[in-house]
């Protein structure tokens, strides 16, 4: 697992191989389409005894309405629709729940419906296997366990407070874990102190921030009026201005940072819906996550002999 020293660059800033890159085409939605109303979020309380530790855990931190569920659902949608096969891991305690939740995620996001809020005092756990469509033997299948919790629970650690036991069990466990720290474009200036309290909590639990795998995600970047950033300095300046203490931690420990948007979100009927789905930032974050765990890019072209073999097999 990498330590996050390599900065995550927005797609708009990537100049290398620009001619070869084919961006994902946005998905258009019919605003007159009747949304499904039978979405039931699945949440499962995890006991202090964490079973099936043999996985790569991904822990989402963020307050209410920060965009954690949207980021998770759009990342899973990208991985399953464009990068390979994503399926529930057999033999895990919540295989059935994972199937239901994944089905809801995929059906709703394709119709522009945003995920429901996570239940308080519960950890939503998805034990999955991701099998990339890359043919190289170095781009291997991996186990991924996504963890998402209610934003209300994260607020409980303010001023030295404690997490609910269902969350504590994961933070105390000796498992490989990646932290996705989410704050939105509109609320980042109010959450600088809380993010630092969370990082302090990780250090108290013996996690060295110089070697921890973590990324700061500024969600809802579309609220800025753009789907991307004009330059790397724009994102840096936003973090310095709105999150000065967090910016110092990121720079000191070499943590990764990026922005995120799920596309154009409209509120015409009193409920926010996606009218134009953009998976560009989901692609960036998913590829960073895979490389930080495996050490190879999802787009790795293979060794010389593998490339030679691919050229013959494709001819």
296-307 residue pLDDT tens:
999 998 775 566
For residues 45-59, average pLDDT: 65
Structural tokens at position 315: 């001819």
Contact 258, 10 (CB under 8 A): yes
pTM for this structure? 0.77
For residues 205-215, average pLDDT: 89
Q: Which of 103-107, 208-212, 214-218, 265-269 has the highest mean pLDDT?
A: 214-218
Task: Report residue 90: phi and psi, to 5°.
Answer: -70, 145
Q: Domains in the chain, start-ordered, CATH in brackets?
A: 42-313 (3.40.50.300)
d(C-alpha 106, C-alpha 69), whole Å: 12
C-beta atoms surrounding 131 within 10 Å? 15
Contact 219, 185 (CB under 8 A): yes
Cβ neighbours of residue 89 under 8 Å, at least 6 residues apart? 52, 55, 95, 127, 128, 129, 143
Region label for 225, one of left (φ > 0), alpha (ψ between -120 and 50) or beta (otherwise) = left
Contact 95, 89 (CB under 8 A): yes
Note the pLDDT of residue 92: 75
Q: Please give the sequence-ordered ranges of beta strands (E in DSSP) within 106-207, or none if there are none.
A: 123-132, 142-149, 177-184
User: Which percentage of the chain shows pLDDT scores above 70?
Assistant: 70
d(C-alpha 137, C-alpha 120), whole Å: 41
d(C-alpha 78, C-alpha 271), whole Å: 24
For residues 137-160, average pLDDT: 78
Name the helix (H) or strand (E) containing 280: helix 280-294
Per-residue pLDDT tens over the stretch 192-202:
999 999 898 88
Cβ neighbours of residue 128 under 8 Å, at least 6 residues apart? 76, 86, 87, 88, 89, 98, 102, 143, 144, 145, 146
d(C-alpha 224, C-alpha 17), whole Å: 28
d(C-alpha 257, C-alpha 196), whole Å: 15
Per-residue pLDDT tens over the stretch 230-281:
888 999 999 999 999 999 999 999 999 999 999 888 877 778 888 888 999 9
d(C-alpha 263, C-alpha 153), whole Å: 27
């Amino acid at each position: 697992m990498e330590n996050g020293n390599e900065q995550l660059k927005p797609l708009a800033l990537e100049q290398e191989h620009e001619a070869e890159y084919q961006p994902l085409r946005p998905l258009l939605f019919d605003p007159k389409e009747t949304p499904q109303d039978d979405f039931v979020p699945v949440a499962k309380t995890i006991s202090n005894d964490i079973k099936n530790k043999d996985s790569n855990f991904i822990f989402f931190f963020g307050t209410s309405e920060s965009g954690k569920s949207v980021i998770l659902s759009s990342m899973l949608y990208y991985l399953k629709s464009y990068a390979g096969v994503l399926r529930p891991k057999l033999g895990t305690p919540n295989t059935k729940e994972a199937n239901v939740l994944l089905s809801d995620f995929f059906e709703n996001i394709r119709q522009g419906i945003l995920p429901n809020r996570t239940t308080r005092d519960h950890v939503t756990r998805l034990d999955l296997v991701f099998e990339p469509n890359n043919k190289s033997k170095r781009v291997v299948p991996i186990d991924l366990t996504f963890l998402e919790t209610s934003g209300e629970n994260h607020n409980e650690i303010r001023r030295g407070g404690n997490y609910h036991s269902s969350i504590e069990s994961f933070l105390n466990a000796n498992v490989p874990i990646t932290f996705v720290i989410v704050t939105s474009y509109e609320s980042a200036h109010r959450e600088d102190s809380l993010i630092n309290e969370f990082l302090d909590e990780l250090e108290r639990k013996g996690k060295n921030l110089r070697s921890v795998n973590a990324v700061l995600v500024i969600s809802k970047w579309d609220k800025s009026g753009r789907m991307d950033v004009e330059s790397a300095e724009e994102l840096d300046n936003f973090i310095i201005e709105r999150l000065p203490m967090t910016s110092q931690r990121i720079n000191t420990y070499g943590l990764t940072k990026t922005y995120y948007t799920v596309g154009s979100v409209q509120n015409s009927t009193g409920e926010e819906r996606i009218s134009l789905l953009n998976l560009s930032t989901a692609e960036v974050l998913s590829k960073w996550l895979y490389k930080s765990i495996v050490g190879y890019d999802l787009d790795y072209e293979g060794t010389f002999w593998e490339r030679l073999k691919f050229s013959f097999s494709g001819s």
